[in-house]
Amino acid sequence: MPLKRPPQPAPVSPPKRSSAAKPRSTGQRGKKSDDFANVRVALSVAGFDPSSGAGVTADLKTFASHGIFGTSAITNLTVQSTQGVEGFEPVSGPFLARTLEYLCADLPPVGIKIGMLGTPDVASAVARFLQSRNNGEAKPLFPIVLDPALKSSSGRELYPSYGLETLHQRLLPQINWITPNWAELAVLAGTPVNSLAQAETAASALAKRHPHLHIVVTGGDAELPTDILRLPSGELHRFPGKRLKTRSTHGTGCAFSSALLCRLVLGDSPVLAIRAAKSFVAESMRLAPGLGHGHGPLDLLWPLGKPKSAKKPAKKR
C-alpha cells in the first residue's frame, strides 16, 4: 500500500472558529437569538479527573478552544492527580444510559468523543446509545472518536482484558475513528508494537476486523514521535513530530482526540484535522503552567488568550 507523507504543519495559530461560535447579542433580556440555532455541540463521554488534566474536563476545555459547545457524561470517578491514577469507581451502565438519552434529547451532538470506559458494562451502555443515535445505519452519521484508555501513563489498568471482545463486537462497529497509542494498539490488534513498522502492521491487522475505521496511531511515547493515519481505503499517512522537553504531558491523548473531533466537526479533511490537532496539543504543552509534582496539565485554553488583569480599585481619598 503506498505510503504518503503529508507536508510539515505550518506554524501554530489559534484554531479557526466557526461563525456559529462567535459571541452574539441575545437581544432583549431573556430572549434567545435565532443565531444560536447554529451553535455546534460536541459530547464527551469519559472519566472525571479531579486534577483537570485529562478526562471530561480536558475535553470540555478543548471544545471551548475550538468554538464548540461541550456537554459531558461521566463514565468513572477517579482518584487522580498529576502523579497518577490511584483508583476509580465506574458509573453503572443503566445510569449512564439514562444520562446520555436525557442529555442528548435536549442537546443533540454533532460529534462525540469517548474516553475512559472502565468496565464492559459501561462500554455496552455506550454502544447501545450510539446504535440508537445511528438510526440503524451501518456507519455512524457523524464523527465519533474513541480514545481507548486501557491503561494510565502511570501503569494503572483502566479497562479489563476480559472485556476486549465487548469493545470489538459492540463498540467499535458504532464508531468511525480510534486513536490508540502503541501499547493500546498492541492490545487491540493482538500483536507486538515496538517500532513504527510494527505499528503500521498492527493498524492493518485492526483494520481487517474493522475496515470502516479511521485508525490514528499516536507515537508520542517513541523517541522520534510519528503519528500514523490508516484510512478505510487502506491508504497510510505519516505525521512526523518533534519531542518537546517538558513534564507537562498529563492528558495529551485526551486533548489530541478531542481536538481531532473538533476539527472534523468543523469540516477538516482527515489529514488536515490530524495536523491541526497535533499543532494544538504541541502549543498546549509549550504553554503549560507547570503545575503539580508529576506530569502536569496542559494549557488547553491558550487560543482564547490570557485574561486581562483586573484593575486595582482606586484609593479612597
Confidence of residue 314 (pLDDT cuts 50, 70, 90): low
Give pLDDT tens digits for 106-138. Answer: 999 999 999 999 999 999 999 999 998 877 676
Q: Helix count (H) and strand count (E) of the chain?
A: 8, 10
Query: Among candidates 194, 116, 199, which has minimal Cα distance to 158?
Result: 116
> What pLDDT score does 35 carry?
55
**Type and span of the H or E element at 132:** helix 120-133
The per-residue pLDDT of the chain, averaged, comes to: 87
Query: Among candidates 205, 197, 179, 316, which has minimal Cα distance to 257?
Result: 179
> What pLDDT score does 4 carry?
53
| 107 contacts 71 by C-beta, under 8 angstroms | yes
What does the block give as the cell for 25?
447579542
**Range with top average pLDDT, 5-9, 27-31, 93-97, 243-247:** 93-97
Q: Which residue, chain included where needed, has cell 464492559?
A: 120
Give pLDDT tens digits for 261-274. Answer: 999 999 999 999 99
The reported pTM is 0.85
> What pLDDT score does 138 carry?
66
Length of the chain: 317
- 23-to-20, 34, 59, 202 alpha-carbon distances in Å: 8, 13, 21, 45
Write down all domains in the chain, each with its CATH number in brackets.
Answer: 38-244+251-277 (3.40.1190.20)
Sequence-distant contacts of 205-211: CB under 8 A, at least 24 apart: 206/178, 207/232, 207/234, 209/168, 209/172, 210/168, 210/172, 210/173
Q: Residue-wise over 273-298: b if at least 16 C-beta within 10 A, else e? A: bbbbbbbbbbbbbeebeeebebbbbb
